[in-house]
C-alpha cells in the first residue's frame, strides 16, 4: 500500500478562519496532539504575517518532535528568511513558499506577467533551498491557472530544488474529474515530477474539498493538505478527519494508507473546538455529535441486530466510546427495550406496554428521551398506586401583580370534579384546589424540585412530603412543566393518604 503524507494546516490555513485564532500555548498543544497521532507535516503558521504567527511557528518548532514543521512564505526574500528563522529549531523543517499563477491573480493581485511570476517562484525556491533541505512550492489558484503555465512553473521549481509541488484549489472551484485530469496532466508533462511529491490543497467552497482531495490522490497525488474540523479560509479546507477516515475505510479499494492513529481523532477535534470556539455541526461526518447516533426505529433495529447494517466504521476507531441509539419519537419498541435492558430493567409484557405508551407521550413533548427520563418513567410506572384521583386538567393565572389562581379538574372513577382556588403562588393555588376537590387537607412539610434531565425541555421531578393526622406521606411527580409535576406529586401524596399507604 502506498502511503499518503498528511500535511496538517489547522494552525495556518485553519487559523485563518474568521475568529479561529489560537494562543501560542494552544498551538503547541494542538501540534503535540498531531505529532502523537503520526501527522507527517505540521504547517504551524505564516511567520512574516505577525509577531504572534512567528512566535507560534517558532514555539512549535522548538517543542514538537516527530513531524516536519513547516512555515508559509510568499515568494519574497524577507518572507523566506523570516520563515527560516521560525522553523530553524525544528529537527525536520520545511519552507513552504507560494505565488499565484492564475491569470486573474497575476493581473489583478500581483500585477505581474507570467514570466515575472515564474522567475519569482524559481528565485524563492532557490533561496529556500539554500536554507533548508525540504522545500514545498505552491502555485496559488492552480485550479484556475493555464495548464501549460503550471507545467512550466512546476518544471522550473523542481529544477530549483523543490521537493514537494502543491496544487491548490484555492477558491474551491474545481470538481473531482477535472482535478484528477489536472494531476494526470502534470504527472505526464512535468519533467522530474517522479522525484517529488505531488500535494493537493483543496478548499470547500462547493463542498467538494474532500472529494477533490481523494480524487487527486487516486490520480497520483501523495500529500493531502487538511485541517481539523475542516477549518480554513471561507468554507474551509478539506477536513483532516474525513480525508484520513476515507482512506482508512476504503483502504483496500484505494490500496493506500496514512500513518495516522485514528483513535485520537475525536479528542483532537474536541480540542480544536474548545481552543477556537468554533463548534462542528451535529451532522458533521466523523466528529459531529450525530455521526454515530441512530434514531429511526428501523435503523435501531438493524443496529441492535448487527452494527454493520448502518455503520461503516466503529466509533471506537476515532476514539468515541460507543454508538448511541437516540430515543425519540421515531424510535421503536426494539430500541426502547434494548435501552431498558442496558439500564438493568427487564419488564413483563404488560409493564413494557405501559412504559412504551408513556415513552411515546414523552417523546412527543421532548426531542430526545434520555436515560434519566426512562428511570423516572419506570419508577413512576412500577411504583404505581391505585389512582383514586387523577389529574385531567389544570390552569393557573399568575404574575407579580395578580393573585395566583388555579382551576383544577380531577377524575374519580368516571366522575369529573372541578374547583378553583387562590394561593400564595401558582403551586399553592393548585394544591388548594386539589384539597377542595379531594376534601383532604394536609400540611406541606417539604417540597423539592429537580431537573433530572438536560436541556431546556428537561423533565422536572417534584418530591414532597405532607402531614395529616401526625403521619407523613410522600408524593412524587414528573413532567416537563414544573407546575404539572407539582400537581402530580401532590395528588400522589393524596392518593397515598386515601389508600392509607405510607
Ligand atoms: O489556498 C491556498 O492556495 C493556500 C496556499 C498558500 C497553499 O492556502
Ligand atoms: Zn488555502
Greatest mean pLDDT among 15-19, 431-435, 470-474 lies in 431-435
If you measure from the C-alpha of residue 73 to the centroid of ligand 1, how many angstroms do you get, rounded to a whole number? 11
Do 333 and 461 lie in one domain? The reply is no
Comparing 470 with 12, which gets the higher pLDDT? Answer: 12
Ligand 1 neighbourhood includes 47 CB (under 6 angstroms): no
If you measure from the C-alpha of residue 174 to the centroid of ligand 1, how many angstroms do you get, rounded to a whole number? 14
Do 243 and 300 lie in one domain? The reply is no
Ligand 1 neighbourhood includes 201 CB (under 6 angstroms): yes
Do 237 and 201 meet the contact criterion of CB atoms below 8 Å apart?
yes
496 within a domain of the structure (yes/no)? yes
Do 221 and 109 lie in one domain? The reply is yes
Please work out, in degrees rounded to the nearest 5, the angle formed at the alpha carbon of residue 73 by the alpha carbons of 149 and 50. Answer: 145
234: left (phi over 0), alpha (psi -120 to 50) or beta: left
Question: How many domains, in total, are found in the chain?
Answer: 3
Domain boundary among 276, 305, 337: 276
Do 93 and 210 lie in one domain? The reply is yes
Distance, in Å, from the CA atom of 427 to the CA atom of 482, rounded to the nearest integer, reads 9
Do 113 and 214 lie in one domain? The reply is yes
The closest-lying atom of ligand 1 relative to the alpha carbon of residue 171 is: 1
pLDDT tens figures, 60-115 = 999 999 999 999 999 999 999 999 999 999 999 999 999 999 999 999 999 999 99
Domain boundary among 355, 381, 407: 381
Do 243 and 131 lie in one domain? The reply is yes
Do 18 and 108 lie in one domain? The reply is yes
At residue 455 the predicted structure's pLDDT band, cuts being 50, 70 and 90, is low
Distance, in Å, from the CA atom of 173 to the CA atom of 116, rounded to the nearest integer, reads 25
Do 21 and 128 lie in one domain? The reply is yes
287 within a domain of the structure (yes/no)? no
Do 428 and 303 lie in one domain? The reply is no
If you measure from the C-alpha of residue 270 to the centroid of ligand 2, how many angstroms do you get, rounded to a whole number? 22
If you measure from the C-alpha of residue 225 to the centroid of ligand 2, how many angstroms do you get, rounded to a whole number? 9
Whole-number pLDDT of residue 385: 57
- Report which protein residue has its CA nearest ligand 1's atom 2: 170
3-state secondary structure of 339: helix
The closest-lying atom of ligand 1 relative to the alpha carbon of residue 140 is: 3
Q: How many helices (H) and strands (E) does the chain have?
A: 17, 18
Section 209-235 average pLDDT: 98
The closest-lying atom of ligand 1 relative to the alpha carbon of residue 168 is: 3
Distance, in Å, from the CA atom of 418 to the CA atom of 125, rounded to the nearest integer, reads 88
- Report which protein residue has its CA nearest ligand 1's atom 8: 13
192 within a domain of the structure (yes/no)? yes
Distance, in Å, from the CA atom of 409 to the CA atom of 438, rounded to the nearest integer, reads 11
Percentage of the chain with pLDDT > 90? 80
Of the candidates 193, 157, 326, 314, the one whose C-alpha atom is nearest the C-alpha of residue 248 is 314
285 within a domain of the structure (yes/no)? no
338: containing domain: 293-381
Which residues are CB-neighbours of 384 under 8 A, at least 6 positions away? Answer: none
Whole-number pLDDT of residue 492: 87
Please check the confidence at residue 381 and state whether its pLDDT lies above 80: no
263 within a domain of the structure (yes/no)? yes
3-state secondary structure of 161: coil
Distance, in Å, from the CA atom of 421 to the CA atom of 409, rounded to the nearest integer, reads 12
pLDDT tens figures, 176-221 = 999 999 999 999 999 999 999 999 999 999 999 999 999 999 999 9
Pairing of strands 134-140, 93-100: parallel
**Bridge partners (DSSP) listed for residue 200:** 167, 224
Helix (H) or strand (E) holding 397: strand 389-397
Do 211 and 297 lie in one domain? The reply is no
pLDDT tens figures, 329-375 = 899 999 999 988 887 677 889 889 999 999 998 898 888 888 767 87
Q: What is the CATH number of the domain that holds 160?
A: 3.20.20.70
Q: Of the residues 100, 203, 232, which should be mutated to test ligand 1's pocket, given the most ligand atoms within 8 Å of the CB?
A: 203
137 within a domain of the structure (yes/no)? yes
Please check the confidence at residue 130 and state whether its pLDDT lies above 70: yes
Whole-number pLDDT of residue 476: 79
Domain boundary among 249, 276, 303: 276
435 within a domain of the structure (yes/no)? yes
At residue 502 the predicted structure's pLDDT band, cuts being 50, 70 and 90, is very low
Ligand 1 neighbourhood includes 98 CB (under 6 angstroms): yes
Section 120-130 average pLDDT: 98
Cell numbers representing residue 52 in the block:
504572534
Q: What is the CATH number of the domain that holds 480?
A: 3.30.160.270
Ligand 1 neighbourhood includes 170 CB (under 6 angstroms): yes
Ligand 1 neighbourhood includes 12 CB (under 6 angstroms): no
Do 322 and 461 lie in one domain? The reply is no
pLDDT tens figures, 281-294 = 999 999 999 999 99
Ligand 1 neighbourhood includes 366 CB (under 6 angstroms): no
If you measure from the C-alpha of residue 11 to the centroid of ligand 2, how many angstroms do you get, rounded to a whole number? 12
Whole-number pLDDT of residue 374: 83
281 within a domain of the structure (yes/no)? no
Ligand 1 neighbourhood includes 204 CB (under 6 angstroms): no
Do 95 and 216 lie in one domain? The reply is yes
Amino acid at each position: 500500500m502506498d502511503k499518503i503524507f498528511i500535511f496538517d494546516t489547522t494552525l495556518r490555513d485553519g487559523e485563518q478562519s474568521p475568529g479561529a485564532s489560537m494562543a501560542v500555548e494552544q498551538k503547541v498543544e494542538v501540534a503535540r496532539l498531531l505529532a502523537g497521532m503520526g501527522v507527517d507535516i505540521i504547517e504551524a503558521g505564516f511567520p512574516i504575517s505577525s509577531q504572534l504567527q512567528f512566535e507560534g511557528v517558532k514555539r512549535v518548532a522548538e517543542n514538537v518532535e516527530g513531524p516536519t514543521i513547516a512555515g508559509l512564505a510568499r515568494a519574497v526574500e524577507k518572507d523566506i528568511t523570516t520563515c527560516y528563522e521560525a522553523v530553524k529549531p525544528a529537527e525536520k523543517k520545511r519552507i513552504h513558499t507560494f505565488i499565484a499563477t492564475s491569470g486573474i491573480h497575476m493581473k489583478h493581485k500581483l500585477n505581474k506577467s507570467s514570466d515575472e511570476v515564474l522567475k519569482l517562484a524559481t528565485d524563492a525556491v532557490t533561496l529556500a533551498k539554500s536554507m533548508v533541505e525540504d522545500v514545498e512550492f505552491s502555485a496559488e489558484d492552480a485550479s484556475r491557472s493555464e495548464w501549460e503555465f503550471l507545467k512550466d512553473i512546476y518544471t522550473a521549481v523542481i529544477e530549483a530544488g523543490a521537493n514537494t509541488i502543491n496544487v491548490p484549489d484555492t477558491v474551491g472551484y474545481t470538481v473531482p474529474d477535472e482535478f484528477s485530469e489536472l494531476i494526470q496532466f502534470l504527472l505526464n508533462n512535468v519533467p522530474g515530477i517522479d522525484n517529488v511529491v505531488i500535494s493537493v490543497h483543496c478548499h470547500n467552497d462547493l463542498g467538494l474539498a474532500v472529494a477533490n482531495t481523494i480524487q487527486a490522490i487516486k490520480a497520483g497525488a501523495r500529500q493531502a493538505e487538511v485541517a481539523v474540523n475542516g477549518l480554513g479560509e471561507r468554507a474551509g479546507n478539506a477536513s483532516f478527519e474525513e480525508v484520513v477516515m476515507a482512506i482508512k475505510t476504503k483502504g483496500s479499494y484505494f490500496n493506500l494508507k496514512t500513518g495516522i492513529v485514528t483513535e485520537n481523532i475525536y479528542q483532537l477535534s474536541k480540542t480544536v473546538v474548545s481552543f477556537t470556539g468554533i463548534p462542528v455541526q451535529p451532522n458533521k461526518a466523523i466528529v459531529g455529535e450525530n455521526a454515530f447516533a441512530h434514531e429511526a426505529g428501523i435503523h435501531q433495529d438493524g443496529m441492535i441486530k448487527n452494527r454493520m447494517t448502518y455503520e461503516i466504521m466503529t466509533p471506537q476507531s476515532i476514539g468515541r466510546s460507543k454508538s448511541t441509539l437516540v430515543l425519540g419519537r421515531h424510535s421503536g419498541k426494539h430500541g426502547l427495550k434494548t435501552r431498558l435492558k442496558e439500564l438493568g430493567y427487564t419488564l413483563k409484557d404488560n409493564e413494557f406496554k405501559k412504559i412504551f405508551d408513556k415513552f411515546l407521550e414523552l417523546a412527543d413533548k421532548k426531542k430526545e428521551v434520555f436515560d434519566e427520563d426512562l428511570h423516572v418513567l419506570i419508577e413512576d410506572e412500577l411504583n404505581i398506586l391505585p389512582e383514586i384521583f387523577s389529574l385531567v386538567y389544570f390552569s393557573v393565572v399568575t404574575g407579580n401583580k395578580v393573585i395566583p389562581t388555579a382551576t383544577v379538574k380531577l377524575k374519580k372513577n368516571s366522575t369529573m370534579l372541578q374547583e378553583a382556588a387562590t394561593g400564595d403562588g401558582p403551586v399553592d393555588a393548585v394544591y388548594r384546589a386539589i384539597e377542595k376537590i379531594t376534601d383532604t387537607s394536609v400540611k406541606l412539610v417539604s417540597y423539592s424540585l429537580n431537573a433530572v434531565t438536560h436541556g431546556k425541555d428537561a423533565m422536572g421531578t417534584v418530591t414532597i412530603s405532607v402531614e395529616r393526622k401526625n403521619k407523613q406521606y410522600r408524593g412524587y411527580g414528573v413532567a416537563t412543566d414544573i407546575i404539572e409535576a407539582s400537581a402530580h406529586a401532590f395528588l400522589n401524596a393524596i392518593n397515598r393518604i386515601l389508600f392509607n399507604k405510607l
